[in-house]
Amino acid sequence: MDGNEHTKNLFAATDLIHKKLRAQRTVKWIFGSMSVVILIPLVALTSYLIIRAWPSLTWDFITDVPKQGMRSGGIWPALIGTLYTVTFSLLVAVPVGVMAGIYLNEYARESWFTRIVNLAVVNLAGVPSIVHALFGLGAFVVFAGLGKSILSASLTLAIMTLPVIIVSTKEALFAVPVTFRMACWNLGASRWQTIRTIVLPNSIGGILTGIILQVCRAAGETAPIMFTGAVFFKFVKRGDLFPYKPTEQCMALSYHLHTISTQVPGVPESMLYATAVVLLGFVLAFNAIAIVLRTRIRNRKKW
Amino acid sequence: MKPKAGNIEIKNLTIRYGNKIALDDISISIPSTGIFAIIGPANSGKTTLLKSINRTIELEPGVSVKGQIFIDGQNTKRIRDVYGLRRKIGMVFPLPVGLPLSIYDNVAYAPRIAGKHSKRDLDEIVERSLRQAALWDEVKDRLKSLGTMLSGGQQQRLTIARALSHEPEILCLDEFSIAVDPVTTMRIEDVLIELKKKMTIILVTNLVQQARRLGDLTCFLNIGKLVQVDETEKIFSDDPGNQLTYDYVHGVFG
Amino acid sequence: MQQIEKHSLTDKLQDTSSGTRPGPASGVSRGTLGAFLTHIRRIRRVVSERTIVCLIYICGVSAVIFVFGIFFFVFREGAPFLEHGFKAKEFFLSPDWYPTSATNKRYGILAQLVGTGSVTLVAMLVAVPFSLGTGIFIAEFCGKKTREIMKILVELLAAIPSVVWGFIGLMVMNPLIIKLTGAPIGLNVLNAGIIVGLMSVPIIVTIAEDAIRAVPDTYIEAAEALGATRWQLVRKVILPAAKSGLLAAVLLGVGRAVGETMAVLMCTGHSINIPFDAKVPFFHVLESVRTLTATIAAEMGEAPRLEANADGTYPTEALHYQALFVIGIVLFAITFVINITADMIVKGIRRKK
């Protein structure tokens, strides 16, 4: 290309522009492949786990109890134990977390105290799970005298999931326009009436999404329940839905996976994989529910 | 004329947002008859004045309020049931806010909050309020559809209907015509003329001509200070008795 | 929130309104019983509202209580060790950790500190470039559809439990590393680093994407109006503007990596070892280590909690349990500082915006 052509065609691409665009394409390609590299493990590993687990993945595996020192049989007691701890922890974490979220978004005013509360939430979210475990051990097992039990484990999990529930509630409430609140206040509604009639109904989807995500987290965590309530093995009848009392220790899926893969020699590999797949499936399924829920809410906005 | 409920007496009202003075030592007496129009350029404290009447001003952060407001001789600061006070005063803001509820529930909101739950009463209130706001004919067949899906003009009338649902003694409108087309504006103005027989109406407007059309008394605020309160005709006459007022209503500034 | 005593006033207000003008009467006119019931209902409503608002306030401060609670209870259990067995110099600078030795108990966590540090370092070497690249890609280079899908995948990646990651390290990475590098054991810094790196990806991607998207549109429009390509825009405008947000993202990733427990417990090989020496290349990723978190997780089960003797001293066997809690305090302090710093950076950005 020479100068003559430039004057003829003012908007033709120059070498410089070609170079720029080439750089742009290269960079886009690099970043794109980086993303793919990061996300490959998700797909590849999940498929790999499922393939390896396939021989053991039967209905029997889920409903049967471990046999021969966990070397055969199923995972029923662990599955039920996980359900127990997760349910109990939600019973505590949801009301407290949602109300704390309401406090922070609706009642708290800009002040040093509110800043401290917010800082505490951020910190609580960042505390390592093993420190939560130590706290659970020190506070619930020892100090409160609950011993190693489902209660202690659930309370520990509850405190661990609390900050995320608080933050997601806060964000869901924040998404409701202030003008609605103003309108209600002007109609003579108190803060709580406004929250109950307008704010909560319009943010419940977001709050639920946050809660469901915490179900996954609570189900997958191992460290916090290790010394607060999870037990290596507990005899349970096959298919029994209520095998544990809240004051007893229980088995848990995540802890079970840890023990059979590191401490029990001679467990068939496919059983290990199957346990991992059940846990992963449980968690990913709940996540998928949360994602679907969120997408539907976003599409069905009322304003 | 026999005294109606809903006269307002504002005494030495000073309101600050932090260090900024929004209203500076305002004293106005608003009689319970007719439409009281408030005009003034932007930032003159008109909206603040309305908010201080139903005490929603207290909900804003960093506000300090000095002075008193008496409604029917009662000091609003002393009223402990602030929610009851707010129910007595209907508020309509510049931008229409349809609550994300059905049209019916929008209008029935305030009565329900106040503890009325009988279906018959509510039906009656909804119909009356919507009729008063000149919206009934347009929405009577779809009371169950979402209030937020109405057009802007309809939503503004819905807001007015909602403000009327608890039978206020005072109705405050803050530049209601900003987000509304001229035809709807005229309809709402007709509604107001009808309503002024029943209640005190305070009309904040940035359209001086609207104040002239509707106001019985007109008050002119400028940068938080009260400039003049007088008969509307006087304010809009060639000699309102105040140069600033004259300049404003004749478009010299503002 | 102060409406208990004023139904009388509400009544008065309603009375005046129904008295002065026609309209549907309030509950008052419907017989005494009706009025009584309405009254009861109102009192109940007011009381229950008060209770709820009270609960909301209590729950609101719960987060503060719990943070202090965590510190308090972990400290409470660890305190006797601080009093009796703790020597700061030995604790932080000695790699000798023999808490159960019968004759010569030693409590030095240098090896674990280095272990945590080296795993975190490798994890960040893996995670940071890829996460920032992904963050930039999601925020600036892909279409809306792709973005949605990518974000969902990132979220799913975040959902995988750490014990499953540990399992993957144990069963998949372990043989792979042995085969590829010829190392005698595949449970080492490299293995744990890659696993923990993958685990920290989601949080870094999410925060980085937020930071990039928080760059004011006006900057971007101005640059686009000058004819910049997307890449020039990213390099010259967006990255400098989002710098501190990206730093916060990396910090939170570090926090995540430091606090990770189960995966490192299963993947590091769990041997007390400092993976540095004088031989090239100085830092040996193929050596096994042990981290702070894994130490607590592995040993707490065997460390007995013993009560104090009558004279207030503790049997030496009790010190192990208490020392583990002191490690917990160290971890708490590290993550506390990281989180506060990251939070201040993020808040700083928001304020500027």
Residues contacting residue C117 through CB under 8 Å, at least 6 positions apart? none
Rounded CA-CA distance A199/A178 in Å is: 10
Residues contacting residue C277 through CB under 8 Å, at least 6 positions apart? C284
Residue C284 zone, left/alpha/beta (φ > 0; ψ -120 to 50; rest): beta
Determine whether the interchain pair A198/B101 forms a contact, defined as Cβ–Cβ distance below 8 Å: yes
Q: Which among A116, A123, A222 is the nearest to C262, CB-wise?
A: A222
Cβ neighbours of C150 in A, within 8 Å = 35, 39
Nearest residue on chain A to C292, alpha-carbon basis: A130
Cβ neighbours of A287 in C, within 8 Å = 155-156, 159
Cβ neighbours of B85 in C, within 8 Å = 13
User: Which of B54, B109, B151, B165 should be substituted to probe chain A, the one whose Cβ sees the most A Cβ atoms within 10 Å?
Assistant: B109
| Residue C278 and residue C147 share a domain | yes
Q: Which among C2, C17, C38 is the nearest to B115, CB-wise?
A: C38
Q: Give the H/E segment covering residue B17.
A: strand B8-17
The CA angle A55-A61-A64, to the nearest 5 degrees, is 155
pTM: 0.86
Residues contacting residue C171 through CB under 8 Å, at least 6 positions apart? A261, A269, A272, A273
Q: What is the CA radius of gyration of chain A?
A: 26
Q: Which of residues 67-86 of A touch C (CB under 8 A)?
A: none
Determine whether the interchain pair B116/C26 forms a contact, defined as Cβ–Cβ distance below 8 Å: yes
Q: Which among B79, B114, B121 is the nearest to C24, CB-wise?
A: B121
Say if CB C339 and CB A122 are below 8 A apart. yes
Domain-terminating residue out of C84, C101, C126: C84
Domain-terminating residue out of C40, C61, C84: C84
| Residue C296 and residue C167 share a domain | yes
| Residue C98 and residue C79 share a domain | no
A43-89: pLDDT as tens digits: 898 999 999 999 888 888 888 888 888 888 889 999 999 999 999 99
- In the block, tokens 């922070």 appear at A104
Cβ neighbours of B197 in C, within 8 Å = none
Classify domain B30-44+88-249 at the CATH superfamily level. Answer: P-loop containing nucleotide triphosphate hydrolases (3.40.50.300)
Q: Which of residues 164-193 of C touch A (CB under 8 A)?
A: 164, 166-168, 170-172
User: Which of B54, B80, B118 should be substituted to probe chain C, the one whose Cβ sees the most C Cβ atoms within 10 Å?
Assistant: B80
Q: Give the H/E segment covering residue B221.
A: strand B217-222
Which pair of tokens denotes residue A96?
């407290």
Nearest residue on chain B to A202, alpha-carbon basis: B100
A117-163: pLDDT as tens digits: 999 999 999 999 999 999 999 999 999 999 999 999 999 999 999 99
Q: Which of residues 229-268 of C touch A (CB under 8 A)?
A: 229-232, 234, 252, 255, 258-262, 265-266
pLDDT at A234 over 80: yes
| Residue C199 and residue C161 share a domain | yes
Strand partners for B20: B17
Give the SS3 label for residue A175. Answer: coil
Q: State residue A16's pLDDT score.
A: 83
A38 in C contact zone (CB under 8 Å)? yes
Domain-terminating residue out of C50, C84, C118: C84
Q: Which of residues 45-84 of B touch A (CB under 8 A)?
A: 54, 56, 59, 61, 83-84
Kindly provide the b/e burial profile for residues C327-346, where b requires at least 16 CB atoms within 10 angstroms of the residue's own CB.
Answer: bbbbbbebbbebbeebbebb
Rounded CA-CA distance A70/A212 in Å is: 31
| Residue C56 and residue C22 share a domain | yes
B169 in C contact zone (CB under 8 Å)? yes
B131 in C contact zone (CB under 8 Å)? no
Could you give the dihedral angle defined by the CA atoms of residues A202, A203, A206 and A212, in that order, rounded to the nearest 10 degrees? -100
Q: Which among C7, C13, C42 is the nearest to B88, CB-wise?
A: C13
Q: pLDDT by residue for chain C (353 residues), tens digit each?
A: 444 333 433 343 333 333 333 334 444 445 677 777 777 777 777 788 889 999 999 999 998 999 999 999 999 999 888 887 788 888 898 888 988 888 888 889 999 999 999 999 999 999 999 999 999 999 888 888 888 888 889 988 999 999 999 999 999 999 999 999 988 889 999 999 999 999 999 999 999 998 898 888 888 888 888 888 888 888 888 888 888 889 999 999 999 999 999 999 999 988 888 888 888 788 888 889 999 999 999 999 888 888 888 787 788 788 899 999 999 999 999 999 999 998 888 777 666 55
Residues contacting residue A195 through CB under 8 Å, at least 6 positions apart? A102, A106
Say if CB B220 and CB B205 are below 8 A apart. no
The domain containing residue C189 runs over which residues?
88-352
Say if CB B81 and CB C13 are below 8 A apart. yes
DSSP B62-92: TEEEEEEEEETTEETTT-S-HHHHHHHEEEE
| Residue C114 and residue C232 share a domain | yes
Nearest residue on chain A to B158, alpha-carbon basis: A183
Q: Tell me yes or no: is domain A59-299 CATH 3.40.220.10.
A: no
Cβ neighbours of C136 in A, within 8 Å = 31
Largest CA distance in chain B: 56
What CATH number does the domain containing C128 carry?
1.10.3720.10
ipTM of this predicted complex? 0.89
C162-199: pLDDT as tens digits: 999 999 999 999 999 999 998 888 999 999 999 999 99
In chain C, how many domains are there? 2
Rounded CA-CA distance A32/A30 in Å is: 5
Sketch the domain layout of chain B as residue ranges.
30-44+88-249
CB pairs under 8 A between B and C: 46
Which pair of tokens denotes residue C298?
């592995």
Per DSSP bridges, beta strands B63-71 and B200-205 are: unpaired
